[in-house]
Amino acid sequence: MPAILLIHGAYQGGWIWRPVATLLRARGHEVLAPSLDGCAERAHQLRPGITNETHALELAALVGNEDLDELTLVGTSTGGMVLCRLAELIRERVARVVLADALALLDGERLADVVTRRNPVTTELATGPTLADARDRLFAELDEATRDWALARYSPHPIAVMEQPVRLESFWSLPWNARVVWCRRSQNPPRAHQQRAAQTLGAEWFELDSGHYPMLQHPAALADIIARA
């Protein structure tokens, strides 16, 4: 069974993939769902210099150290930005890319070119919404138990990832076996952004009746999309 690398987005960690990872492992897949540098249980490592590029480089090292080939890369939210750069770095190891309600920027674009963020808590190193805003806006569609579980794990995101332009040398010019998952009730990233990615990549298009966290609202449906032959 092909190995799968799940890449989380902003304010998250590998924990957000737990329901999907459990389902994929039950099917026999090797699944990695790491928390990126400065995020979740690695928040104590937060420091200047953590960027989309360094996140991609650390995942490239992980893939190499684990000797993973024929790999399915899955990215959600800002994890799509990491996925695109990572895919360039390990091109020969990638079998498929899956963008799950993900940001897939063009070379030189930055997050603010696609979405308008409301992050009232910003420091020199990190940025994110307040816990109240996370509860009432980001996680509003989740059931109460899942929302509380997610809020207990929420963490601000390294600020340079959210502000600096992405560097992509070849991603958009290479052929990929790609899938794009649009969540109908998610406002960001907008549908037009995800359609651009699907059209440029010649990707399969999937839709889920979900908010921005399909891995928590519809884990079985998302696992099916990721794992289907």
- Tell me, yes or no, whether 58 lies in a domain: yes
**Number of CB atoms found within 10 A of residue 190's CB:** 13
- Tell me, yes or no, whether 110 lies in a domain: yes
- Tell me, yes or no, whether 69 lies in a domain: yes
Domain harbouring 77, CATH code? 3.40.50.1820
Contact present, 156 and 128 (Cβ < 8 Å):
yes
Looking at residue 166, what is its pLDDT?
Answer: 98
How far is residue 213's CA from residue 38's CA, in Å, rounded to a whole number? 21
Query: Is the model's pLDDT at 118 over the cut of 80?
Result: no
- Tell me, yes or no, whether 149 lies in a domain: no
- Tell me, yes or no, whether 220 lies in a domain: yes
| Confidence category of residue 116, pLDDT binned at 50, 70, 90 | confident
Global model pTM greater than 0.85: yes
Query: Is the model's pLDDT at 119 over the cut of 70?
Result: no
| Confidence category of residue 26, pLDDT binned at 50, 70, 90 | very high
**φ, ψ of residue 205 in degrees (nearest 5):** -110, 130
Closest CA to 203 of 227, 224, 172: 172
Span 168-210, pLDDT tens digits? 999 999 999 999 999 999 989 999 999 999 999 999 999 999 9
**Number of CB atoms found within 10 A of residue 95's CB:** 14
Q: Which residue has the higher pLDDT, 208 or 122?
A: 208
- Tell me, yes or no, whether 181 lies in a domain: yes
Q: What is the 3-state secondary structure (H, E, C) of 144-188?
A: HHHHHHHHCCCCCEEHHHHHCCCCCCCHHHCCCCEEEEEECCCCC
Give the list of residues 6+ apart from residue 190 with CB closer than 8 angstroms, or none. Answer: 114, 115
Residue 82 structural domain:
4-115+157-227
User: Bridge partners of 181?
Assistant: 100, 206
- Two structure tokens written together for 71: 């790999």
Region 207-222: mean pLDDT is 97
- Tell me, yes or no, whether 139 lies in a domain: no
Lowest mean pLDDT among 36-40, 115-119, 151-155: 115-119
Number of domains in the chain: 1
- Tell me, yes or no, whether 197 lies in a domain: yes
